Amino acid sequence: MMRVLAINGSPRVDGNTFCALSIMADELKKHGADTEIVHVGNDLIHGCMGCGYCAGSEEKQCVIKDDCVNQVALKMREADAIILGSPTYYFGIAGTMKCFLDRAFFPNYWGGHFRNKIGAVVSVVRRTGGIETTNQLRVYMSATEMIVPQLQYIPVMYGRAKGEVAQDEEGIQIMKRHAEAMVWLYKTKEAAKDIVELPKAEPFVRTNFIR
Ligand SMILES: Cc1cc2nc3c(=O)[nH]c(=O)nc-3n(C[C@H](O)[C@H](O)[C@H](O)COP(=O)(O)O)c2cc1C
């Protein structure tokens, strides 16, 4: 059974992002997958300080240990698939979620624990900026070599007041199709496990242009 961890980056625990993630979780359940939704957007999360501690840490943990980041990052490591959900704040990821993502993903940047896991993202928006938020969320997944299914429409749901996205029928269909695509990808990966080798991690060739 695929274990999915869905991360709610909204400060409004029961808002539209939660609603979008719940639609995906319900659909995943229909296909036999188990989803846990964790809320990070309502926590007090410090931004990344760029200190580099995590890179040298065996467990790839952050030096700041008094918020949820390290604990949720461990859960992400155990999951088969990860969904990132964020409301759109000024055409991008909501601030607390950005702080969370920088710190949870940075130690996994190269050959880290999230490699080859299945991923999906969802953003909610009142009107404009959903594409930007979605693309920003996806960057974390590509930078850690996660596998993200693509569909014909990007996963954005529309609504302002809590729960309004439940009226976005097209968005609901997109959420469900994404969930289905995640399950298909997982089953394909499992079926191929002993037949096709996953791409191997390589040492990081780092070219910095200012020396
Ligand atoms: C600080 C802030 C900034 C926002 N920026 C945008 C924006 O750039 N574009 C937009 O269409 N909606 C914007 N919104 C509206 C939210 O994206 C929208 O209400 C969303 O449904 C909230 O999701 P939630 O219920 O999960 O918190 C903003 C809301 C807040 C509080």
The pLDDT, as a whole number, for residue 210 is: 67
How are beta strands 156-158 and 3-8 bridged, if at all? unpaired
> Phi first, then psi: what are they for 197, rounded to 5°?
-75, 140
The superfamily CATH assigns to domain 3-192 is Flavodoxin domain (3.40.50.360)
The pLDDT, as a whole number, for residue 193 is: 93
Q: What is the domain partition of the chain in residue ranges? A: 3-192
Cβ 96 vs Cβ 86: under 8 Å: no
- The pick from 10, 88, 132 for probing ligand 1's pocket by mutation, whose C-beta has the most ligand atoms within 8 angstroms, reads 88
pTM score over 0.85:
yes
Q: What is the pLDDT of residues 32-89, one digit of tens each?
A: 999 999 999 999 999 999 999 998 888 889 999 999 999 999 999 999 999 999 999 9
8 CB near ligand 1 (under 6 Å): no
Residue 165 reports pLDDT greater than 70: yes
CA distance 181 to 4: 13
What is the residue whose two structure tokens read 């700041």?
A: 64
- The pick from 12, 21, 89, 132 for probing ligand 1's pocket by mutation, whose C-beta has the most ligand atoms within 8 angstroms, reads 89
What are the start-end ranges of the H helices in the chain? 16-30, 53-56, 69-78, 95-105, 130-143, 169-192
Query: How much distance in Å is there from the Cα of 126 to the middle of ligand 1?
Result: 6
